[in-house]
Amino acid sequence: MAGHLLILGAPGAGKGTQAMRLAGKHRWAHISTGDIFRRHGERGTEFGKKIEGYLKAGELVPDSLTCEVLVDRLSQSDCDNGYILDGFPRSVRQAEQLDRMLEEREEALDAVIVLDIGDDEIVERLTARRNCPKCGKIYNLKFSPPAIEGACDNETCGGAALEEREDDCEETIRQRLKVYHESTEPLIEHYAARELVQSIDAAAEGPCEIADKIEDILLAQGVS
Ligand code: AMP
């Protein structure tokens, strides 16, 4: 069944890990605006040049550019079977734009999952975060390290060297958290008013327990 989910939470709360798992399991598209922006940066596109300064500073990319990317991504056929939004919307204004896009597509959100976690835990996690440049798998050197130090576990990646995100340094993390509290957190209220919000304590639970809780939420919503 086509699910339309939104995962909200501070940077490092585990949105990407959960979204990737859900997308694989349910064959839904995983839409991460942050990943799309980073790919533009890596490919050195004109668009990438326009946005790289925002990413490096931990600031939000302007809404017009972000919504352009989202409209384009939603137009791809893999979204017809459902999708998980990871990192969009990040402000009430973006949420209002999303409402309009959903209306045009005659779709509605099934649930908004909030991964709740404190700032100090975030800083500890993000400074230990690494990812595989080939498959995108996310590791944490403390909680979920790879079997071989510094290399991706996936056989198909051939031991690819894990990388650290440029914006995962403490100064930028603190700035991203500030932006989260100011611009993104108010979205919880925005969606709570529609009774869509389901919060999970992401500090107390490990990735597998969180995944189980999300599946329970989906079952309760009649999405599976
Ligand atoms: P993420 O990978 O979701 O942590 O996003 C990395 C960076 O991309 C953010 O710090 C922002 O600079 C930018 N970004 C991602 N999604 C958005 C969005 N919805 N609106 C504005 N900027 C975004």
Nearest CA to 93 out of 11, 187, 23, 10 is that of 187
**Binding-site residues, ligand 1, Cβ < 6 A:** 11, 33-34, 37, 54-55, 58-61, 66, 87-90, 94, 167, 176
Please check the confidence at residue 200 and state whether its pLDDT lies above 80: yes
In this prediction, residue 119 carries a pLDDT of: 95
Closest among 84, 48, 58 to 168, alpha carbons compared:
58
Answer yes or no: is 176 within a domain.
no
pTM as predicted: 0.91
Average the pLDDT over 92-117 and give the result: 96
Residue with tokens 């919060």: 199
Q: What is the pLDDT of residue 5?
A: 96
State the average pLDDT over residues 165-174.
Answer: 92
Q: Which atom of ligand 1 is nearest to the CA of 176?
A: 10
Residue 151 lies in a domain: no
Number of domains present in the structure of the chain: 1
pLDDT at 40: 96
Per-chain mean pLDDT for the chain: 95
Distance CA 94, CA 64 (A): 9
Which residue range(s) make up the domain with 13?
3-117+185-221
- List, in sequence order, the alpha helices (H) in 27-130: 33-43, 46-57, 63-74, 92-105, 119-126
Atom of ligand 1 minimally distant from the CA of 86: 3
pLDDT digits (tens, 9 = 90+) for 39-73: 999 999 999 999 999 999 999 999 999 999 999 99
pLDDT at 2 over 90: no
Beta bridge partners of 139: 130
In a domain, 142, yes or no: no
Q: Is residue 200, in this structure, part of any structural domain at all?
A: yes
- Percent of the chain having pLDDT more than 70? 100
Residue 150 lies in a domain: no
- Residue-level pLDDT at 222: 87
pLDDT at 1: 76
**Residue 35 domain-assigned?**
yes
Residue 161 belongs to some domain of the structure? no
With respect to residue 19, please indicate whether it lies within any of the assigned structural domains. Answer: yes
CATH label of the domain that carries residue 36: 3.40.50.300
pLDDT value of residue 224: 74
